[in-house]
């Protein structure tokens, strides 16, 4: 651990929220001394186009000026249908992550979607190790084999410098014809116990390597018939409450994790809002019923299921009200270099108008910083 990161650890540790029931830790400091803009910045994760930080100007500005708390990397640039995005080779990716971290006063969430199989941003033709799909491992259903591949993935991510992986998928494969889950081999299978066991192994290996695993997509995307990247996915008639069980069981385990929301409409749970924008689903079911208190990431807020139906201002307001801690703007459905300053201004206006309280922003800020503290200090285990 470098001197810079030890110094940051000491700084961050002095700021973090700790439960009053922990007798051997200090209680929270005065959060009103931290600028609102800094808190908002930590709630944003953004993508950008470039193999190095010098390839684009906005990511430097987003991190240094707007205090953006997270960056997500991709191998393919969808808006231009080009393989030239962020990930070219192991050495280049390592250098890019190092340079991004060097821009930030507070360590970044450095994220990737590395599920294995067809959803792999780190591809073998760019000299990254092969990682098997969830469907392959679920059908094999051999804990030793799963641990072997999970350990390989975790070590690779750690060596590159990632600290967040948007995996494992815990959607049940209840609809094998689902174009974005079942047809892409992203689910461990239809059986709750199999999915939970497989996911728990990945979380355990991620934890050992200082990687925050992110379960997705809450409250379940496996039964959908369409893709939320290109439109609204309505699971009202296909979703089953059993899809919540992997989250319940994993919440009872020892390994920490984050959760990603699903852009699905489920009128059995919320008659008006899709899950990402639903306080009933995120605060009510995930936080209160299941008891999850970790960091909640949105799925990409620029996907059509959100962007085309609700617009930016409404979706940002509703996602924060629903309990989302980190709003993800991947810049890989549409590309908007001004998305960070635009969203920052929206959230500031919501706070200044009283629509969203600063206490609500503080709550997400504390969760995010506490998670970064554990990652930085190696206390995830």
β-pair partners for 326: 297
Of 230, 258, 298, the residue nearest 46 (C-alpha): 298
d(CA 236, CA 233) in angstroms, rounded, equals: 9
3-state secondary structure of 234: strand
Mark whether 55 is an active-site residue.
Answer: no
Catalytic residue among 229, 255, 263, 325: 229
Of 214, 212, 201, the residue nearest 324 (C-alpha): 214
First to last CA, the chain: 17
d(CA 148, CA 152) in angstroms, rounded, equals: 6
d(CA 226, CA 235) in angstroms, rounded, equals: 9
Catalytic residue among 62, 75, 270, 299: 299
Mark whether 77 is an active-site residue.
Answer: no
Q: For residue 280, count other CB atoms closer than 10 A to its CB.
A: 15
3-state SS of the chain: helix, strand, coil percent to 5? 45, 10, 45
Q: Which residues of 52-69 are buried (b: 16+ CB within 10 A; e: fewer)?
A: ebeeeebbebbbeebbbb
3-state secondary structure of 313: helix
Active-site residues, by number, are: 229, 299
């Amino acid at each position: 651990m470098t001197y810079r990161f030890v110094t940051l650890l000491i700084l961050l540790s002095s700021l973090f929220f700790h439960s009053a029931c922990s007798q051997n830790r200090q209680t929270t400091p005065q959060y009103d001394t931290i600028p609102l803009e800094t808190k908002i910045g930590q709630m944003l994760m953004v993508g950008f186009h470039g193999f190095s930080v010098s390839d684009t100007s906005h990511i430097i500005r987003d991190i240094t000026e707007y205090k953006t708390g997270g960056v997500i990397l991709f191998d393919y640039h969808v808006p231009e249908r080009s393989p030239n995005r962020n990930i070219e080779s192991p050495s280049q990716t390592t250098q890019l992550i190092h340079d991004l971290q060097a821009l930030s006063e507070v360590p970044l969430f450095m994220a990737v979607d590395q599920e294995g199989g067809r959803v792999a941003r780190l591809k073998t033709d760019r000299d990254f190790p092969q990682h098997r799909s969830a469907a392959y491992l679920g059908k094999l259903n051999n804990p030793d084999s799963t641990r072997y591949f999970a350990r390989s993935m975790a070590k690779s991510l750690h060596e590159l410098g990632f600290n967040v992986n948007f995996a494992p998928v815990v959607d049940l494969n209840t609809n094998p014809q689902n174009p974005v889950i079942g047809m892409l081999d992203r689910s461990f299978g239809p059986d709750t116990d199999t999915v939970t066991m497989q996911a728990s192994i990945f979380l355990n290996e991620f934890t050992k390597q200082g990687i925050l695993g992110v379960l997705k997509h809450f409250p379940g995307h496996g039964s959908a018939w369409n893709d939320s990247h290109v439109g609204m996915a309505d699971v009202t008639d296909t979703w089953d409450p059993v899809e919540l069980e992997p989250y319940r069981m994993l919440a009872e385990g020892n390994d920490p994790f984050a959760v990603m929301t699903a852009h699905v409409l489920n009128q059995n749970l919320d008659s008006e809002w899709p899950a990402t924008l639903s306080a009933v689903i995120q605060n009510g079911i995930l936080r209160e019923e299941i008891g999850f208190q970790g960091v909640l990431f949105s799925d990409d807020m620029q996907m059509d299921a959100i962007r085309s139906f609700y617009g930016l201002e409404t979706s940002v307001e509703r996602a924060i009200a629903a309990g989302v801690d980190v709003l993800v703007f991947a810049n890989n459905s549409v590309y908007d270099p001004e998305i960070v300053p635009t969203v920052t201004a929206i959230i500031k206006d919501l706070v200044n108008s009283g629509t969203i309280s600063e206490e609500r922003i503080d709550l997400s800020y504390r969760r995010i910083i506490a998670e970064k503290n554990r990652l930085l200090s190696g206390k995830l285990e």
